[in-house]
Structure 1
Amino acid sequence: MKTTLLLLMLASASALANNLPTVINTEQHSEIGTVSVSSVPGTMDDAIHKMQKEAQDLGGKTLYITSLSTPGHSSFWQGTAEVYR
């Protein structure tokens, strides 16, 4: 029983660790610009995906999201991000 519980705890910790965001060191990347989106319907992921597409158009490989919100009680997202090469 103790072995099973330990294995479940380790599996849970491993699963949580795999879902954590990647930390980037902005000093090791070259900033090439910023992107911003507004009035994006849907979910937070939809807004992030739109920023990713705009960053890709700039030639970016990494995003550092500086803001992401739904203003007021809106269901539309807005956000800004720094783009790094």
Structure 2
Amino acid sequence: MGTNGQPGIGRKGDGEAPKSGNNIRMRSAGFLSERQRRLAWVGFLLAAFQAPAAAQLIDDASWLFAVVVALLVAAVIIADDTQRRRPTAD
């Protein structure tokens, strides 16, 4: 505020420019890098599509392993999303 109650215009008396209220907050990074995140999605999709195909072609229950792998990779992706969406600490 200026001396008469109006906001100050231009530079302050100490030579510093006035601070802008338009600070940009960057999204906090998750524990996966972008490359690891992309590979996790590829692995999830491959395992998710391989399970039903294996169930049709194979008589035993070995296709359940692909379902478990897909669920584990999905849990890692969800945990990374949760960490990325956490608000930044000021």
One fold, TM greater than 0.5? no
Q: Which has the higher helix share?
A: 2
Q: Which has the higher strand share?
A: 1
- TM-score interval, normalised by the smaller of the two chains: under 0.3
